[in-house]
Every structure is written in structure tokens, then in C-alpha cells.
Amino acid sequence: MPELPEVENTRQYLLRSGLAGRRLGAPEITWGKTVHEPSVGEFIEGVAGRCLTDLQRRGKYLIAPLDDDQFLVMHLGMTGSLRIHDARREPPPMVRHTFPLDDGREMRFIDPRKFGHLWLLPDPSGAMRKMGPEPLEPAFTVDLLASVLAGRKAPIKALLLEQSVIAGLGNLYADEALFLSGIHPERAANDLGEDETSALHAAIVRALSHSVAAYAAAREAEWPDPPIALSPWTIPRATDEPCPRCSGAMAMIRVRGRSSWHCPLCQPAR
């Protein structure tokens, strides 16, 4: 599932492809359930002829302000990706939606499992539930992390996945941050000591920034077709690969239904 680094990679890719400033034609929507608001017909009519002025990100959402003060909001869901291609280029498989651009190219929303989302709204926050802090913004401090975790008895892994706690983390980067900070995924959030909260904060920032940088390098190396997914985490997600820190066996447990890879030696349950 695309998480913060993947969505940021998509944003950077689309901006470098020259999406900002382009005028959109009438989009072709082949799976109507992707459009949440307004109706599919109103969405197509509202997008057609509008100029995309910028592309921003909030958590895992991409937000494109249009020149009529509306916002095209996109979420890649489980398996979605966006590509800009010459319209004459054979479309890759699983293109569900096509946004023609005024320069002979088109933005293609590829979505094998059809879990992506689209909105056209006067206020982009209408697409999102309550969102926590952006972990790569300077405002995300150890104190802020401590305050969002304070009094929460839920397993730390489950809380890291809640977008209202921290925006943009998903299963993979949550596991990575817990591995880097040596914290067991089932530890109660309000049981973490100050040192652990501080280590977790550093690990979240480190895991995400490392990945964002890896995507930037891959974009440079593989332009114009950079990868949409890398595996830039250090935690092995398999039992036959040893822990890179202690060489012990990795383990997988389910925390609130989500697979959680960890090293039982480096991340003791207490």
C-alpha cells in the first residue's frame, strides 16, 4: 500500500513531469465507485477545462488545486499509481481513469484492485477524516508525539497506523519505525518511557526521510519511468531472513489484524 514516501514520490514525479499548469480535458472514468464526491457526471464536468495550479500532499492524499478554487483530491488506495504518458503510448494494464492534458499527454490512474479514491471538492479536508501531524514537518517534535500518545492504552503499532495520530504512516513504515527504535509492536502506547518515545520519534523521521531520499535517487536514475515502489526498510519481512541487528529469527504477529514483523530479541515484549 502506498504510504507517505510512495505518495510523496508520486507527487514529485508528477510535478517534475510538468503536471502543474496543465489544463485538463474531460477525464475518462471507467470505475465509477472511485469517485466519492460529487457524482461521476459532475466530477467529469467539473474537472474538464480546468487548469491544475499545483500538487500538494497531506498524509497519503494528493491535493491538486484547480483554477476555479475547487480541489481535485486523489488517494491511491491499496494498489494505485499515477503516470503521465504521451497519449499515443500504449496504456499499461489496469488503467481505470484517464485525465487528458492539453499538451498531448495524459495522466493515467492505474489501480489493479480498484481501491483508489477521487473527489472534486471546494475544500480538500472534506475528503479526509481528522488528520494527525505530518511526521516530516518541523512541527512534529518528540513532545508532540508524546502528547498524541498520552493516555492511549492501545498497542503502539495500532496507534501508528491511525491517520488521526500521525499522518502518512502505514503498515510497513510503522514496522520499520518500531524496529529501528527497538519497541515491541504490542507495547501499550502510554507505557512507553521518555527515552522510548524519543527513540520512536527519531525512528519515524529516519525511516520516512531515508525512504523519501531513496525514491529521489531512484527518480534521478530511472527518469522518465522511476519506480512506484521500493523496499527501503531494514526490517526483513520473512522468517528465513535473520534480524540485521542480532541475527536472530524474525517473527510475525497480528496486531489488531495487521501483520507486524519484529525481532523478539531486539524488540522485547517486556
Question: Where does this chain bind Zn ion (CB under 5 A)?
Answer: 243, 245-246, 248, 263, 265-266
- Closest distance to Zn ion from the beta carbon of 250 (Å): 8
Q: Which is nearer to Zn ion, 76 or 243 (CB)?
A: 243
Q: Cell numbers for 161, please give them.
A: 497506523
- Closest distance to Zn ion from the beta carbon of 93 (Å): 40
- Closest distance to Zn ion from the beta carbon of 211 (Å): 21
Is 153 tagged catalytic?
no
Catalytic residue among 3, 6, 8, 106: 3
Q: Which is nearer to Zn ion, 14 or 250 (CB)?
A: 250
Q: Edge-to-edge strand order for the sheet containing 95-100?
A: 28-29, 95-100, 105-110, 81-86
Catalytic residue among 23, 162, 258, 264: 258
Is 2 tagged catalytic?
yes
- Closest distance to Zn ion from the beta carbon of 251 (Å): 10
Catalytic residue among 2, 133, 155, 226: 2
Q: Are 112 and 94 in contact (CB under 8 A)?
A: yes
Q: Which is nearer to Zn ion, 112 or 182 (CB)?
A: 182
Q: Which is nearer to Zn ion, 76 or 266 (CB)?
A: 266
Q: Are 95 and 110 in contact (CB under 8 A)?
A: yes
Is 57 tagged catalytic?
no
Q: Cell numbers for 155, please give them.
A: 498497542
Catalytic residue among 50, 58, 60, 108: 60
- Closest distance to Zn ion from the beta carbon of 267 (Å): 7
Is 114 tagged catalytic?
no
> What whole-number distance in Å separates Cα of residue 186 and Cα of residue 154?
8
Q: Which is nearer to Zn ion, 55 or 180 (CB)?
A: 180
Q: Which is nearer to Zn ion, 11 or 262 (CB)?
A: 262
Query: What's the angle, vertex CA 29, arms to CA 114 and CA 127, rounded to 5?
Result: 65
- Closest distance to Zn ion from the beta carbon of 181 (Å): 13
Active site residues: 2-3, 60, 258
